[in-house]
Structure 1
Amino acid sequence: MNFTNKSIALSKIGMAIALGSAALGTVHAQEDRFAKVEIKTQQLTPSVSVLFGAGGNIGVSHGEDGTILIDDQFAPLTAKIQAAVANLGASPVKFLINTHWHGDHTGGNENLGNAGAVIMAHDNVRIRMVSEQRRGDNITPPSPKAALPVVTYAEGLKLHLNGEEVRAIGLAPAHTDGDTLIHWTKSNVIHMGDTFFNKVTFPFVDLSSGGDVRGVVAAADKALALANDDTKIIPGHGPVATKADLQAYRTMVSEIIGKVETAMADGKSLDEIKAMKPAAGYGVATDGFIKPDGFVETVYTSLGGK
């Protein structure tokens, strides 16, 4: 090997080491991120609670017939979630319902499936999980068999467990094309998945997963028709809400759609519509995952804008 070739070889080795170190750094960063997550519990009724951690809010109901989990966040958090469930006095998870397919709601599926949980979800959740999904530059590979829903539905199903009827209600495309609303009829609790973000961000409508901004309004209408002033509503993200909170959210989304739709009919461009600030003044965090202008652009695109 001459000096030049030796230098090139050493350079390649150095690059490989650097890339390997960067990859290990990413893995360690993720491990550190989840290692620091604390699962917090809020009891809503004697048999229904919500767990907050990293990712979508988790609903839990338990009793003599077994424990039902709604969503399961990320795989590294499964042990912590199982511990939080046990601290409620509940048995290990027997049934798991996914409100949609996104990884911050289904990341623990494989772990819980291998532990014996029966996984249920909308038909389109399984369809998306068995195939590669793309959103921009983000690619999600197919899920392993143990992570897949084994019971699926279009309109929904009912579970008669622990002294009450638990309804899984399939929704028209909203956040995605596979959303489910969960209604505990006796406990008067509703879990809306990511069709409802309570104050922490503007709505995320995943158009690449068949989402539709008008469907977000329809999902809110569905839940509002089931709710009363005493109903506790679990959003996909954010604190537990009331019917009044959900009504305000529904009004916001509907009004923003109306403003954007009117501006589009007047021939305004997306930049001109953003300059109008149609999402301002609703009391939603402007530094959340979805910014005001980002939601306006989603509305514009969902309504057919180019």
Structure 2
Amino acid sequence: MSKSILRHLLTVGLLAATAMQAEAQRDFSQVEIEPQPVADNLYMLTGAGGNIALFTGDDGAFMVDDQFAPLSEKILAAVSTLTDKPLRFVINTHWHGDHTGGNENMGKAGALIVAHENVRKRMSTEQFTKLWDRTTPPSPAAALPVITFTDVTTFHWNGDEVRVQHVGPAHTDGDSIILFKQANVIHMGDTFFNGSYPYVDLSAGGSVDGVIENARRVLELADDKTKIIPGHGPLTDKKGLQQYHDLLVRLRSKIKTLVDAGNTREQVIAAKPTKEFDEHYGQGFMKPDVWTGIVYDSLKQQ
């Protein structure tokens, strides 16, 4: 084994171990749930994990994603400050635990959990993530979505038409975006990481090209007044999504050029194709070398 390959494997292993250790040791007692108004009766809640959307009104509370289980009490307390109506539905944008960890608790609070059928399939079976060399055990039965769909489902709720649309392989194979039609708000789940390189879970059917294509389609749906909730990062708009889309298109092209020239995975990473953007986009969870490797792997899988 070459020294460069060994160094890369050690780096990936260290990142995976660090991420797992951080999750296990995190003190959720220090996390605060912060509501941010997005539109009339619609809020983005931040804490730890994926961004939550909360839609309130006479029909009851409607939530998109629910972060980690230890935060459920705080999330429900935040909901109670925004509405006196019960929580009726929780939509999972995909299967990852920072978006579905509160499912069991929200179900016990009276909510029906809804997701694409692939979310239930992945949550109900053991999952292996090659990038982190990590196995995720099946979720408890009480945490699984109780309503699933194959393509799209629509809620006529709180005076709005809320469209939950499955999108082809992107962050995973079970991603959904949620369009609040009258409010003109779109929650994109982890198909959109605002301000950082996106994590694409190739082991769960994800695709870099799918992430780019989904961003393009949402840009077609949005107008200059549309508010866009990303899976991670600050609330933004069509302009912010356009910047994200254009960045991914540019970097994919640079990496594909290196791949087409016959470079190995290690050589593509060593070429630092993302270098000019790393100061802004490479400081979060998804480090530049790891992200470049994901793009390489995704292109080679085509």
Compute the TM-score of the two structures, normalised by the length of structure 2. 0.88
> How far does the alpha carbon of each residue in 1:248-279 deviate from its partner, in whole angstroms, 9 at most, with x for none?
11111111111111211111222332233222
Say yes or no: does 1:101 pair with 2:95: yes
Say yes or no: does 1:120 pair with 2:114: yes
For residues 269-284 of structure 1, the aligned pairs below 5 Å read 269-282=264-277, 284=280
Match of 2:243 among 243, 248, 257: 248
Cα deviation, residue 145, structure 1: 1.6
For 2:154, the equivalent position in structure 1 comes to 158
Amino acid at match of 1:248: Q
Amino acid at match of 2:216: D
Structure 2 unaligned residues grouped into runs of 5+: 1-20
Amino acid at match of 1:202: Y
For 2:104, the equivalent position in structure 1 comes to 110
Match of 2:135 among 107, 132, 139: 139
The answer to whether the Cα contact below 8 Å between 1:122 and 1:179 also exists between their aligned partners in 2 is yes
Tell me, in whole angstroms, the C-alpha distance in 1 between the residues paired with 2:267 and 2:105.
48
Tell me, in whole angstroms, the C-alpha distance in 2 between the residues paired with 1:241 and 1:68.
21
Match of 2:77 among 72, 83, 88: 83
Match of 1:263 among 246, 253, 258: 258
Cα deviation, residue 142, structure 1: 1.1
> How far does the alpha carbon of each residue in 1:188-215 deviate from its partner, in whole angstroms, 9 at most, with x for none?
111000000000x311000111101100
The answer to whether the Cα contact below 8 Å between 1:131 and 1:141 also exists between their aligned partners in 2 is yes
For 1:38, the equivalent position in structure 2 comes to 32
> How far does the alpha carbon of each residue in 1:111-153 deviate from its partner, in whole angstroms, 9 at most, with x for none?
1112221111011000001111111432211111211111111
Structure with bigger gyration radius: 1
Cα deviation, residue 29, structure 1: 7.0
The answer to whether the Cα contact below 8 Å between 1:202 and 1:284 also exists between their aligned partners in 2 is no
Tell me, in whole angstroms, the C-alpha distance in 1 between the residues paired with 2:24 and 2:150.
39
Tell me, in whole angstroms, the C-alpha distance in 2 between the residues paired with 1:27 and 1:189.
33
Match of 1:70 among 61, 64, 74: 64
Shift in CA distance, 152/28, structure 1 to aligned 2, threshold 3 Å: closer
The answer to whether the Cα contact below 8 Å between 2:95 and 2:123 also exists between their aligned partners in 1 is yes
Q: CA RMSD in A?
A: 1.9
Cα deviation, residue 218, structure 1: 1.2
SS in 2 for 1:173: coil
SS in 2 for 1:112: helix
Match of 1:194 among 163, 181, 190: 190
The answer to whether the Cα contact below 8 Å between 1:230 and 1:242 also exists between their aligned partners in 2 is yes
Tell me, in whole angstroms, the C-alpha distance in 2 between the residues paired with 1:277 and 1:82.
44
Say yes or no: does 1:239 pair with 2:234: yes
Identity of aligned residues (%): 51
> How far does the alpha carbon of each residue in 1:163-198 deviate from its partner, in whole angstroms, 9 at most, with x for none?
110010100011000000001010011100000000
Amino acid at match of 2:153: L
Tell me, in whole angstroms, the C-alpha distance in 1 between the residues paired with 2:84 and 2:187.
19
Structure 1 unaligned residues grouped into runs of 5+: 1-25
For 1:22, the equivalent position in structure 2 comes to none
SS in 1 for 2:263: coil
Tell me, in whole angstroms, the C-alpha distance in 2 between the residues paired with 1:100 and 1:284.
26
Tell me, in whole angstroms, the C-alpha distance in 2 between the residues paired with 1:27 and 1:114.
28
Tell me, in whole angstroms, the C-alpha distance in 2 between the residues paired with 1:233 and 1:53.
18
SS in 2 for 1:44: strand
SS in 2 for 1:152: strand
For 2:45, the equivalent position in structure 1 comes to 51
For 1:227, the equivalent position in structure 2 comes to 222
Tell me, in whole angstroms, the C-alpha distance in 2 between the residues paired with 1:81 and 1:188.
24
Tell me, in whole angstroms, the C-alpha distance in 2 between the residues paired with 1:66 and 1:302.
41
Cα deviation, residue 281, structure 1: 2.7
